[in-house]
Amino acid sequence: MEISKASKKSFTRQLVAWHSNDNNRDLPWKNERDAYRIWLSEVILQQTRAQQGLPYYINFTTTYPTVADLAIADDNDVFRLWQGLGYYNRCKNLLATARYVARELNGKFPDTYDGLLALKGIGPYTAAAIASFAYGLPQAVVDGNVYRVLSRCFGIETPFDTTAGKKIFAELAQDLLDKKDSGAYNQAIMDLGATVCTPSNPKCEQCPLQKECIAYNNNIINLLPVRSKKMVVRKRFFNYLLLICDNEIWIQKRSSGDIWENLHQPYLIETPAPATIEELKRNEFYTSLTGNIQVTEHQLKTTQRLTHQQIYANFYTVSLQEKPIIKKENGTWVSIDELKRLAFPKTLVSFFKNNLYF
C-alpha cells in the first residue's frame, strides 16, 4: 500500500490543527510532564475507558503522589485501591516497576524508549507514550484508537492483530508523527479516536479528516479496522461458599496462574456447568463438614465479562458451629468487619455490597 508524502503531510497538518483549535477533551493527565504520573495514567487506562479510569488516577496520585510513595505501599492497600479496574496483573506489575524505579533507578524513570520498554509491564505503546509526553522523544503511540483512525482514513484492510498488520500500522504511525511536537500529535490522534472516530456511530461530520477519509468516502466505516480472529469466550461457573463461624469468614488469596491474582475470595467450587445446591452438597469438601450446618442460597447471581472469559457466580452462606480444616493454600479466617480492608474481584464486591458485608 502506497501513501503519498502529500497525503501524509496533509493528515498530520489537519490533525495537529484540530488538536490546537477544536480538541476540548479535558483530562488531568493531559499536558502532564511527570513521567511517574504519565506512566500511572497509561497503566490505569490499559483496557479501561478514560472516564472509568479517571477516579482511580485521582485516588492513586492523591494517595501515592510520587513513585517513592507507591514503592513503599502495602500490597493489600494498593490492590484495594485498584479494586474494580480489573486486569489485576497490571497492578502487580505497577508495584514491581515502582519498586524497581525507586530502589534501582533513584526514583527516576528512564529517559529513553528502550529504557522504558525494559521495565516490567511496559510495552511499546506505554513506552512510546511516556517517551513522547514526558521527554518529547519522536515515538508514535499505536493503540486501538490509532488503529481505527489510520485504517479508516487510509483504507487499510490488513488485520491489525497480525504480524503484517502491526508492522504496517507501526511504520505508518511513525511516518505521520509530528517530530517537532510528538506529544501533541500523539494526544491528538488518541483523542480523535476516542471522541470522534469512535468504534460505533462515529461523528464524521466533526472529523477534520473527513474529506480525505477513504472509509467515509466509500461507505465502509463499519468494516474497518479489520480483526483477523473472532474472540472465543470461555464460560466459567463459580460457586462461592461463604463459610461463617463465630462471626468470622474463611477467605483465600488467589495465587498466580489464573484470573484475579492476589485478590481474595471465599471458598470456591468451580463447576463445568451451572450447579444446583443439591449438586454442590455432593462435593467432597461439603460432605466433609460436620455438625449442624445451615445453608442459605442467595438470590443475587452475578456475571462478569473479562476479555476472554465470562464468569457466572452463585453465592451460598454456610453457617457452621465449628471451623473445619481447610487444606487450600493462602486461606485464613477473618472477621466479617475485616472484609472492608481486603481487595476482591468486582463480582464479589457487588455481592458483598448488596448483602451488607461492606
Candidates 42, 261, 270, 329; catalytic one: 42
Please check whether residue 271 is in contact with residue 283, taking contact to mean a CB–CB distance below 8 angstroms.
no
- pLDDT score for 175: 98
| Nearest residue to 147 (alpha-carbon basis) of 85, 204, 215 | 215
| Nearest residue to 220 (alpha-carbon basis) of 145, 172, 154 | 154
Per-residue confidence in pLDDT tens, the chain, 358 aa = 689 999 999 999 999 999 999 999 999 999 999 999 999 999 999 989 999 999 999 999 999 999 999 999 999 999 999 998 988 999 999 999 999 999 999 999 999 999 999 999 999 999 999 999 999 999 999 999 999 999 999 999 999 999 999 999 999 999 999 999 999 999 999 999 999 999 999 999 999 999 999 999 999 999 999 999 878 899 999 999 999 999 999 999 998 889 999 999 999 999 999 999 999 999 999 999 988 899 999 988 999 999 899 999 999 999 999 999 998 999 999 999 999 999 999 999 999 988 888 7
| Nearest residue to 139 (alpha-carbon basis) of 163, 153, 123 | 123
- pLDDT score for 23: 96
Please give the C-alpha separations between residue 271 and each of 71, 276, 279, 309, 314, in angstroms, as whole numbers: 39, 10, 10, 15, 11
Confirm whether 278 is a catalytic residue.
no
- pLDDT score for 357: 82
- pLDDT score for 290: 86
Domains by residue range for the chain, with CATH: 12-223 (1.10.340.30), 234-354 (3.90.79.10)
Please give the C-alpha separations between residue 152 and each of 19, 46, 47, 228, in angstroms, as whole numbers: 19, 22, 22, 16
Amino acid at site 121: G
Q: What is the pLDDT of residues 178-213, one digit of tens each?
A: 999 999 999 999 999 999 999 999 999 999 999 999
